[in-house]
Amino acid sequence: MSLTVSYTSREEIEVHKFSWVVSIGIPLLAVFLQAFLPQKRLRFMEIIDLPLLVTIFFAVSRRRPIPGLITGALIGTLQDALMGARYELRGLINLNGISKTIIGYLASSVGVKLDVDNPGSRFLMTFGFYLVHQFVYTVIDLKLVVVGAHAPPSLTHLVLGAFSNGLLAVALFAVLDRFKLRS
Amino acid sequence: MESFFSRYKNALVLMGVLFVQVIILASNVERDNAGAANHGRTSLVRVWTINTISPLERGLVSTGHFFRDTWRNYVDLHDVRRQNTQLQSEVDRLRLEQARWKEDISESQRLKHLLDFKERYVGRTVAAQVIGTTGSEQSRVVTIDKGAQAGLKSDMAVITPDGIVGKVKEVFRYSSHVLLITDHDSGAGVVLEKSRLRGILHGTGPIDLVVNHIMADEKVDPGEQVVTSGGDGIYPRGLPVGTVISSAPDPNPDNASFLVIRIKPAADLSRLEDLLVVTEIAEQSPVAPDTSARVRAADILSERLPSVPKGKTENPDETAKNKPATGTGKPAGTTAATTPGTTVPATKPKPQVSKGGNPVNALTSGRPVSPEGGMPAVKTQGQKKKAGLDGPAKDSPAKKAPAVEPKPPAEAPPQ
């Protein structure tokens, strides 16, 4: 007999759906902004990972691991495809694809057990997932393929990035909640 | 089984997606080929695949060698005694031949020294075993079990005792790919041994090789040996390449003024097992040989003649007891003749004797070998005298004191 620990009520375990326009348009917009905004004058935006936030949002909203990980894989791969040339890496590098696949899987699994509609839990969840994402990314980059596409982030950068993305997630998720289709 | 997949469906899908992504990642990332000077980068997925497969190939080959060697070395020995006898005869014959060649080599060395020639020869090698092949009609490549960790780099020459094999093409951590000389992309500078014609060797894909860039009016006879010229910077000079099979004018009208010479490789490229990778090519000016170290064929022959047992004479005390009191105080072997008509060269080299009583080849007896691979230095005053390079013959101790080996009558062997 398995014991399932959940911090959500039965009503809160609700699987949300999105229209296909939102399902495709929001990730594309996030990847596009991530790829091209920081190249303009908004250099400080580099610390924000919009595709990661969108991955977390869709994963916790759908609450199903397989769609969650596939969403993360597609968003991450698209992000790599757009950003590969920027870092002068030849061809498609799947660093973001792998790390966002894992985040998508974890976020959808967590979405079943936590109240992910609460702003506080959204902040903490995004804070944690940002750190996990950076860890996975750096390990793959420096240990698995030894590419060194990015320098390992400093602790200050990590904390600042996790904090900024957590705050932005609270605001962004509130906006994206409007696109949910109640089933 | 069905419950397993349904229970762990999510985790299995995650692993599957990650696996696919890792493959995509690896196929797009390129890593510097270890030691590659001009071969660029290698796909990471290829590096991983080779590093995974190489240990398996090595294990399979080692297991096969173990059983084969066990059979050959411990069971299948019925012809060994006969072969041993034949080889011993061959060793004796070669020793005589070697002494003759050494004279020629010494002369050649002196002339090169006079002309200040630079010599390039095999400085250091790494032994390797073939653990796989990727040979096809398009490329002829074998995999060997040594890689960057053994110090291998691209473009190093790969040889066997029979002749050249190819060059290292790609180097991985624990294995390497060797491009055989029969590959279309292979090339080597060669020279025909007798006619001294120089040409360029190319692979033709199958087992034969082709030498071209030799004018059609030159005469090249089948059977002539081909060796490396050393001009390509990869293969050291003088290594065997193969034997001329045929020569004919190039059928291509554009190259009709050149010959196409077909060569049979000296090394059996279809049965490669143990190879040597030339990791260092030494270069130095030849040193004029010490001609006092010459050994004549006659000396070799004299070694084989029955003589006084050495056991008694090698002990100075024993020698002193047997030796008549001559009053010269000279060591045994340089004493004045006591029996007329029995004089022999003063310090005749004592042959090393194997257990079976046969002379042991110097190359296998642990004695130092001369740089040109000839006989070890066995100094005989009589030879110095013959060479005429050690001053007047009158200074020779042998001349001053003709010596005999003590010959106790009681222990003389039957003639």
pLDDT digits (tens, 9 = 90+) for B264-322: 888 888 788 888 998 887 766 656 555 555 556 566 566 665 555 554 444 444 444 44
Of A159-163, B188-192, B231-235, which range is least confident? B231-235
Chain A residues whose CB is inside 8 A of the B6 CB are: none
pLDDT at residue number B398: 39
Distance separating alpha carbons of residues B328 and B336, to the nearest angstrom: 8
Reduced to 3 DSSP states, what percent helix, strand and coil does chain A have, rounded to the nearest 5? 70, 0, 30
Question: A71 at the B interface (CB within 8 A)?
Answer: no
Q: Is the dihedral of CA A38, A40, A42, A43 positive or negative?
A: positive
Checking ipTM against 0.90, whether it exceeds it is: no
Distances (CA, A) of A139 to A80, A81, A158, A162, B93: 17, 20, 15, 18, 67
Answer for the pair B192, B220: CB distance below 8 angstroms, yes or no.
yes
Q: Do A73 and B21 touch (CB under 8 A)?
A: yes
Q: What is the DSSP letter of A18?
A: E
Considering only the beta carbons, identify the residue of A73, A90, A102 that sits closest to B30. A90
- CA A140 to the chain's CA centroid: 17
Q: Do A145 and B44 touch (CB under 8 A)?
A: yes
Chain B residues whose CB is inside 8 A of the A94 CB are: 21-22, 24-25, 28
Residue A139 phi, psi dihedral angles, 5° rounding: -65, -45
| Distance from the A41 Cα atom to the nearest Cα atom in chain B, whole angstroms | 31
Answer for the pair B187, B197: CB distance below 8 angstroms, yes or no.
no
Alpha-carbon Rg for chain A in angstroms: 16
pTM of the full structure: 0.46
Question: B26 at the A interface (CB within 8 A)?
Answer: yes
Question: B44 at the A interface (CB within 8 A)?
Answer: yes
Q: Residue by residue, what is the 3-state secondary structure of B347-382? A: CCCCCCECCCCCECCHHHCCCCCCCCCCCCCCCCHH
pLDDT, one tens digit per residue, over B64-87 is 888 888 888 888 888 888 889 999
Distance separating alpha carbons of residues B395 and B178, to the nearest angstrom: 58
Residue B243 phi, psi dihedral angles, 5° rounding: -125, 140
**DSSP alpha helices (H): ranges in B36-182?**
44-70, 80-115
Task: Map tokens 């060649």 to a residue.
Answer: B101
| Distance from the A96 Cα atom to the nearest Cα atom in chain B, whole angstroms | 10
Alpha-carbon Rg for chain B in angstroms: 30
3-state secondary structure of A85: helix
Bridge partner list, A181: A17
Considering only the beta carbons, identify the residue of B9, B10, B25 that sits closest to A93. B25
- pLDDT tens by residue, chain A, 183 residues: 444 444 444 445 567 788 888 889 999 888 888 877 655 556 667 788 899 999 999 998 888 889 999 999 999 888 887 765 455 444 456 788 899 999 999 999 887 777 778 889 899 999 999 999 999 888 887 766 665 556 677 888 889 999 999 999 999 999 998 888 765
A143 exposure class (CB count in 10 Å sphere: 0-12, 13-18, 19+): exposed
Chain B residues whose CB is inside 8 A of the A99 CB are: none
- What the block records as the tokens of A97 is 């694809």
- Is the model's pLDDT at B149 over the cut of 80? yes
Q: How many other C-beta atoms lie within 10 A of the C-beta of residue B8?
A: 12
pLDDT at residue number B415: 37
> Which residue of chain A comes nearest to B41, CA vs CA?
A90
- Is the model's pLDDT at B199 over the cut of 70? yes
- Taking CA B46 as the corner, what is the angle to CA B138 and CA B58, rounded to the nearest 5 degrees? 85
The interface residues of chain B toward chain A in range 4-23, judged by CB-CB distance below 8 A, are 9-10, 13-14, 17-18, 21-22
Residues of chain B with pLDDT > 70, as a percent, come to 58
Whose CA is closest to B128, among B141, B146, B112, B101?
B146
Contacts A–B by Cβ distance under 8 A: 52
Chain A residues whose CB is inside 8 A of the B8 CB are: none
> Which residue of chain A comes nearest to B23, CA vs CA?
A94
Residue B248 phi, psi dihedral angles, 5° rounding: -155, 155
Q: Do A97 and B25 touch (CB under 8 A)?
A: yes
| Distance from the A70 Cα atom to the nearest Cα atom in chain B, whole angstroms | 8
Distance separating alpha carbons of residues B130 and B305, to the nearest angstrom: 46
Given pLDDT bands bounded at 50, 70 and 90, which one contains residue B116?
A: low
- What the block records as the tokens of B276 is 């040597």
| Distance from the A106 Cα atom to the nearest Cα atom in chain B, whole angstroms | 10
Considering only the beta carbons, identify the residue of B13, B21, B30 that sits closest to A98. B21
HSE-CB of A70 using CA atoms within 13 angstroms: 11
> Which residue of chain B comes nearest to A100, CA vs CA?
B18
- Taking CA A169 as the corner, what is the angle to CA A163 and CA A171, rounded to the nearest 5 degrees? 115
Residues ≥6 apart with Cβ < 8 Å to A143: none
Question: B245 at the A interface (CB within 8 A)?
Answer: no
